[in-house]
Amino acid sequence: MLDHSLTQIAKALRDGSISSVELTQLALDKADANARLNAFISLNPEQALTAAAAADAALKAGNDDPLCGIVTAHKDLFCTKDILTTCGSKILSNFISPYDATVIEKSNARHLVSIGKTNMDEFAMGSTTESSYYGATLNPWNTEHVPGGSSGGAAAVVAAGIVPVSTGTDTGGSVRQPAALCNLTGIKPTYGRVSRWGMVAFASSFDQAGVFANSAEDAAIMLEAICGYDEKDSTSIEKQEIDFKSDLNQNLEGMRVGLPKQFFNAELDAGIADTVMAAANELEKQGAVLVEVDLPNSALGIPCYYVLAPAEASSNLSRFDGVRYGFRAEEYTDLESMYVNTRSEGFGDEVKRRILVGTYALSSGYYDAYYIKAQKLRRLIANDFTTAFEHCDVILGPTTPHTAPKLGAVNNDPVSMYLEDIYTVTLNLAGLPGLSVPAGFDQNGLPIGMQLIGNYMQEAKILNVAHQFQQATDWHTQRPANIGGES
Amino acid sequence: MSQTKWEVVIGLEIHTQLSTKSKIFSRASTAYGAEANRQTTPVDIALPGVLPVMNKHAAELAIRFGLAVGAKINARSTFERKNYFYPDSPKAYQITQFEVPIVGEGELEIDTINGKKMIGITRAHLEEDAGKSIHGAMTGKTGIDLNRCGTPLIEIVSEPDMRSSAEAVAFLRKIHGIVRYIGISDGNMQEGSFRCDANISVRPFGQDEFGTRAEIKNINSFRFVEAAIEHEIERQIDLIEAGGTVVQETRLYDPDRDETRSMRSKEEAHDYRYFPDPDLPPMVIDEATIEAIRADLPELPEPRIARFISEFSLSEEDATLLMADRQSADFFETCNAKTTAKPAQVNNWIHSELSAHLNKENLSMADSKIDADALAGLLDRISDDTISGKIAKEVFAAMWAGEGSADDVILAKGLKQISDSGAIENIVKEILAKHPEQVEQYLAGEQKMIGFFVGQVMKASQGKANPKQANEILRKLLSS
C-alpha cells in the first residue's frame, strides 16, 4: 500500500480497505524495519497516530481531499511545533520550534500525516547527506552508496517505500539530485512558489521547497499542497496559478524539447548521456521536437553559486550563537569565547568551510571581486535560459554527471562534490522550476535521473512531459530490493 | 589652547525611532516600558526560519520626513544586512538601507549667531533598532532585553556643515522639532527615541581638507551633545598642539566625567560585510504614494510662522513661540477662527492663562482641559462686553475645573457685566459720596484719581460693572 500511487491510496482510504491510522502504523513499522538506512532524525509516532485518527474522522465525514490521511515525512529543516528541528546539526540538536513552517501548516491543513523528520546534510550543505550530525543516510538501492543530498533522508524514505511522498528543499539541487540517485520523481518549483517561512535558511535567494514522489502525477498532487502566496515571506509570488494536474495528460505533439549542448559535455558519464538521449528519443517518438539550445554561461554556474550561496549562508547562520536557543559550549570564559567555542563545536566541517568562504567573499576589499562579480554572472546565466526558452518549451538534460557515489567517496573532496551540482545549480541561480525523473539504471543497477527544466511558473509543462514519459516507460515503477518490513 | 586658530567641522548622524504601532519587520508592539522580552515574536528573537516583512507605515513616516525637509525620495530603495555579532542583535546582522536609502539629499536652515545657515542632509535611511544588554541586574551575568529590537528607526545623516557645537545643537533641535511637528516620532530622548552620533574634526582655518575625525557615539540629550562636542574639540586641539595626531576612532561620551574615551580604533573597526538582504526585495514607492503623503503633510513651521506674522499681525517672537509644538499652533488657529477677539488677544490667552494652567498640572497642549472652541467662546464674551477681562480669568478657572462652557459659568455664577447705566450710576454716586477727599483732589486737577474711582466701582460691583461705562458716568458726574 505504501508504494502505491496517491490516487490508489486515497481510494483505499475511502473504500475501507485501510484506515489512516493503519496506514500510519504500517509506515512507522516500516521506518523501524529500515532503521539501518538512517533516513530519519526523529520519528513522532504519537503525534502521527493522533493526526491519522483526525484524518480518519475527516474521511468518515466525507472529506474528498486526495491527500487526506496520506502519510508523509518532512525534511528536518522545516520548523515543527513540539518536535525537534535540527537541520542535521549539533548546534540545533536540542531545538524545538514554537511555530510551524508554512509548508507544515499547509500539509497539516490537508490532513497529511507526518511520521517524522528526515535526515539531511547539515544545514542542507552537501550532496550526499554525509555531513549530518546524525550520521549518513544510506541509499536504499545500494547501502554502500549515498542517497544524494542534501535531502537524502527525504529521498530514501520514499525510495524505501516508507511513505509515498515527502518534502525536501532545493538550494542547488538538493531535491533533484537525490531524486535522481534514488529513482524518484523530485520537483523544485519556481523560486517564490512555496513560502520559505519556517524553512531554516541556507541561502535565502536560492532556497526553495520541493517534493519527492513515485511519479510525476503524485509529485503534482503533493506540490499543489505546499505552493501558494504567503504574506510572511516577502519573496513569495503573490499571483500564482496552482494547477499542476490538468495538463498531465496532454500529448507531446509539437512540444519543443531543448537539449543544451553544454550539458552533454566531458564531465558527463557516457552511460548517463546515452540514457538521457534514449529518453529524448522516446519523447520525440511521442511527437516532441528535439532542438539544440545554447546555455553558454552554464559552466560558470558552479563558481558563481559557490560564492553567492556561502555568502548568504555566512550571514544566515550567524544567529546560531548559543545566546538564545540551541547548543551552547560548556566551556567559555567570556562572550567572545562563548561564541567561538559554541560555533566551533556546534558546526561541522562543511558548514564551517562555507561560512569561511562566504565571510571572505563579503569582506571589505574582496566584495567587488567575488560577490558583485558573481551577481553579474548570475544575471548572465538567467539570461541564457531566457534566450533558450525562445527556442523551446522545456529543456531536457541529465540531473547529475554520475550515479550515486560510494559512501565517503566525495565527502572528503569538497570541490569534486561541488561539481556534482553542475547541471542543477544553474536553475537555482535563475530561479527556474526543474524536476528529475527516473530514466534508467547504470551497469551497477544504480538509478539514473534526467532533468526537465521549465520556464518561470511552468511547472505544469515539465510535469506534463514527465507524466507522458512515465506513461511509456516503467523506470519509475522499479523498486529497490532488500527493503525491510511490509508495504 | 587657542581655539581661534582652529576651525571645527561637525557632522551628525541622528537616530529617530518612528512612532509605528508595530515593529519594522514584525508584528510585535513597539510600546516602551514592557516587561523584558515580552514584546517579541519569533522574528524579533531571530528563531530559525523566520523572515522579515517591511512595515509600510514606517516607510510612509520616513517619506514624510523626507518631504518635510524637501529631500529627494528614492522611488526604489534597498535593504542590506550589516553583519556583526552582539547578544542584543539576535540575527547577528542589522537590516538597514546601505546602497540606496529611502530619503536622499535635502537641506535645512538653522539660526546661528551669524544669521541663517543651510545645513546639508546627505540621506535618511530606514533601519531596525537593536535590543538592550542589561548589565548588573543579575550577578555575574548580562541580561538581554529584545523589546526594543526591531523598533523602526530613521538615521538622518548630515553633511559636515556645522562649525561649532552651537550649530550642531541648533541643527539637532531643528530636526527634533520637525520629527515631532510632523508626528513621525515622539522624540523622547530619555527613552532613547531620539539620539545622535557626532563626527568631529578640527583643521586650521583656511585649510581645505578635513582633519581626521573621531565619532562620538550615542549622545542622548541636547546638553550632552554640546558638552561632548566641546570636550572632543578641546581634546583634539590639545592633542595636535602638543605635537600629536588625531586618530580615526569611535569614542563614547561619559557625561558623569565629562569626557570621551576610545571605544575602538580604525584598525579595530568592524568589517560589517554589507550585502543586499535576500529576504527583502527592493522597496518601490510610486509617485501616487509620495503625493498622498505630501498632501497629508501639515503646513511646516517656517512658512506657517511667516503666515502668522502677515495674516494675524503677530510678532516673530510670538509666532515662533506658538510653533514650538504643532498643537499650540493648531490651537491658536482654531481658536482664532472661531472667535471675534483679535489674534493678539488669542495669542495672549494661550501664552498666559492657558500656559499657566498647563504648566501647573504638567500637561501638554494635547491634554488641555479647555479646547480651542471653548476658549473662543470665552473670548467672545469679552469682546461683546458680557464680562471683563478680569472676570474672564475667573470664568477660565471654572471652565478648567470642568464647570462647563463660558456661558454656563457666567450664568451659573451671575458674572454677567452690569451695563445698565442707571445701576452703574447708583454705584458711582455711592462711591463719590464715600470719598469726598478724593473728589476734592480730582476737582483740584488730579486726573489720575479717575482710576481710583473706577477701581472702587469695580470692587463694589464685584467686577461686574462695565468699566468703560463706569468711566464715562464718573466723568459726567464729577464734571457736573
Q: Do B51 and A335 touch (CB under 8 A)?
A: no
Q: Which of A199, A231, A371 comes nearest B49 by C-beta?
A: A199
For residue B84 the three cell numbers come to 556583526
Averaged over B408-437, what is the pLDDT? Answer: 84
What's the pLDDT at B325? 80
How many beta carbons lie within 10 A of that of residue B459, not counting itself? 12
**Chain B CA closest to residue A309:** B278
Which residues on chain A are in Cβ contact (under 8 Å) with B42? 98-99
Which residues on chain A are in Cβ contact (under 8 Å) with B49? 77-79, 85, 97, 101, 196-201
Please say whether the dihedral angle defined by the alpha carbons of residues B400, B406, B411 and B413, taken in this order, is positive or negative: positive
Q: How far is CA B424 from CA A135, B181, B413, B439, B443, in A?
A: 107, 50, 20, 18, 21
**Chain A CA closest to residue B86:** A335
What's the pLDDT at B422? 81
Averaged over B49-78, what is the pLDDT? Answer: 97
Question: Is residue A41 scored above 50 in pLDDT?
Answer: yes
Q: Which of these is catalytic: A30, A75, A106, A245? A: A75
What's the pLDDT at A334? 92
Q: What's the angle, vertex CA B419, arms to CA B417 and CA B424, rounded to 5? A: 105
Residue A163 near residue A40 (C-beta atoms within 8 A): no
Q: Which of A79, A324, A367 comes nearest B45 by C-beta?
A: A324
Tens-digit pLDDT profile for residues A277-305: 999 999 999 999 999 999 999 999 999 99
Torsion of CA A257, A263, A269, A270, to 10 degrees: 60
Averaged over B422-433, what is the pLDDT? Answer: 86
Which residues on chain A are in Cβ contact (under 8 Å) with B273? 314-315, 359, 362-364, 367
For residue B375 the three cell numbers come to 476658549
For residue B39 the three cell numbers come to 514584546
Cα separation, B26 vs B43, whole angstroms? 6
Give the residue ranges of DSSP H helices in B182-297. 222-241, 287-296
Q: Which of A101, A233, A362 comes nearest B275 by C-beta?
A: A362
For residue B335 the three cell numbers come to 481658536
CA-closest candidate to residue B17, choices B61, B52, B82, B60: B61
In the structure, what pLDDT confidence band is assigned to residue B337 with cuts at 50, 70 and 90?
very high
What's the pLDDT at B265? 77
Cα separation, A325 vs B178, whole angstroms? 42
Tens-digit pLDDT profile for residues A86-142: 999 999 999 999 999 999 999 999 999 999 999 999 999 999 999 999 999 999 999
For residue A347 the three cell numbers come to 558546526
Q: Do B271 and A363 touch (CB under 8 A)?
A: yes
Work out the widest C-alpha separation in chain B, in whole angstroms: 99
SS3 of chain B: helix, strand, coil, percent, to 5: 40, 20, 40
Residue B207 near residue B240 (C-beta atoms within 8 A): no
Mean pLDDT is highest, among A159-163, A406-410, B390-394, B463-467, for A159-163
DSSP letters along A173-195, please? STTHHHHHHTT-EEEE--TTSS-
Q: What is the ipTM of this complex?
A: 0.96
Residue identified by cell 535635502 is B106
Tens-digit pLDDT profile for residues A379-393: 999 999 999 999 999
Q: What's the angle, vertex CA B146, arms to CA B141 and CA B148, rounded to 5? A: 130
Cα separation, B120 vs B160, whole angstroms? 8
What's the pLDDT at A479? 95
How many beta carbons lie within 10 A of that of residue B250, not counting itself? 18
Annotation says A174 is catalytic: yes
DSSP letters along B107-135, please? EEEEEETTEEEEEEEEEEEEEEPP-EEEE
Give the residue ranges of DSSP H helices in A16-159. 20-33, 45-60, 102-109, 152-159
For residue A30 the three cell numbers come to 516500516
Helix (H) or strand (E) holding B389: helix B389-400
Question: Is residue A43 scored above 80 in pLDDT?
Answer: yes
CA-closest candidate to residue A100, choices A82, A119, A75: A82
Cα separation, A146 vs B341, whole angstroms? 91
Q: What percent of chain A has pLDDT over 90?
A: 95
Question: Is residue A74 scored above 90 in pLDDT?
Answer: yes
Substitution target from A167, A318, A337 for chain B, most B beta carbons within 10 A: A318
pTM of the complete model: 0.89
DSSP letters along B317-332, please? HHHHHHTTSHHHHHHH
Which residues on chain B are in Cβ contact (under 8 Å) with A359? 273
Give the residue ranges of DSSP H helices in B246-342. 287-296, 301-312, 316-322, 326-338
Q: Do A204 and B279 touch (CB under 8 A)?
A: yes
Residue A211 near residue A245 (C-beta atoms within 8 A): no
Which residues on chain B are in Cβ contact (under 8 Å) with A231? 53
Cα separation, A451 vs A471, whole angstroms? 17
**Residue environment code for B65-93, b if the CB has 16+ CB neighbours within 10 A, otherwise e:** bbbbbebebbeebbbbbbbebbbbbbbbb
Q: Which of these is catalytic: A97, A107, A131, A150? A: A150
Q: Which residue has the higher pLDDT, B135 or A43?
A: A43
Cα separation, A157 vs A39, whole angstroms? 6
Mean pLDDT for all residues in chain B:
91
In the structure, what pLDDT confidence band is assigned to residue B190 with cuts at 50, 70 and 90?
confident
Which residues on chain B are in Cβ contact (under 8 Å) with A232? 51, 53
Long-range contacts from A330-337, C-beta under 8 angstroms, 24+ separation: A335/B87, A335/B142
> Which residues make beta-bridge pairs with B392?
none
Question: Is residue B41 scored above 60 in pLDDT?
Answer: yes
CA-closest candidate to residue A115, choices A155, A153, A73, A86: A73
Residue A86 near residue A76 (C-beta atoms within 8 A): yes
What's the pLDDT at B69? 94
Order of strands, sheet of A40-43, starting from the edge strand that comes earlier in the sequence: A40-43, A113-118, A71-75, A165-169, A209-213, A185-188, A434-441, A447-454, A394-398, A256-260, A289-293
Instruction: Spell out the residues 6+ positions from residue A451 whose beta carbon is closer than 8 angstroms to its own.
Output: A176, A180, A396, A397, A398, A399, A423, A424, A434, A435, A436
Residue identified by cell 511520521 is A115
Annotation says A461 is catalytic: no
In the structure, what pLDDT confidence band is assigned to residue B252 with cuts at 50, 70 and 90?
confident
What's the pLDDT at B450? 86
CA distance B280 to chain A (A): 6
Q: Which of A101, A335, A362 comes nearest B49 by C-beta?
A: A101
Cα separation, A136 vs A154, whole angstroms? 13
Q: Do B87 and A98 touch (CB under 8 A)?
A: no
Question: Is residue B117 scored above 80 in pLDDT?
Answer: yes
Q: Do A359 and B281 touch (CB under 8 A)?
A: no
Question: Is residue B2 scored above 70 in pLDDT?
Answer: no
Mean pLDDT is highest, among B16-20, B112-116, B267-271, for B16-20
CA-closest candidate to residue A379, choices A431, A454, A451: A431
Q: How far is CA B175 from CA B185, B293, B301, B366, in A?
A: 11, 19, 12, 21
Residue A294 near residue A374 (C-beta atoms within 8 A): no
Annotation says A337 is catalytic: no
Averaged over B295-305, what is the pLDDT? Answer: 91
Rounded to a whole number of angstroms, the CA Rg of chain B reads 30
Cα separation, A320 vs A327, whole angstroms? 8
Cα separation, B4 vs B155, whole angstroms? 33
Amino acid identity of residue A32, one-letter, is D
Substitution target from A305, A315, A360, A368 for chain B, most B beta carbons within 10 A: A315
**Chain B CA closest to residue A99:** B42
Q: Do A367 and B85 touch (CB under 8 A)?
A: no
Helix (H, G, I), strand (E, B) or coil at A6: helix
Classify residue A192 as left (phi > 0), alpha (psi -120 to 50) or beta: left
Question: Is residue B267 scored above 80 in pLDDT?
Answer: no
What's the pLDDT at B166? 95
In the structure, what pLDDT confidence band is assigned to residue B253 with cuts at 50, 70 and 90?
confident
What's the pLDDT at B3? 54
Q: Which of B45, B47, B280 comes nearest A234 by C-beta?
A: B280
> Which residues make beta-bridge pairs with A97?
A81
In the structure, what pLDDT confidence band is assigned to residue B1 with cuts at 50, 70 and 90?
very low
**Residue environment code for B173-201, b if the CB has 16+ CB neighbours within 10 A, otherwise e:** ebbbbbbbbbebbbbebeebbbbbbbbbb
**Chain A CA closest to residue B94:** A315
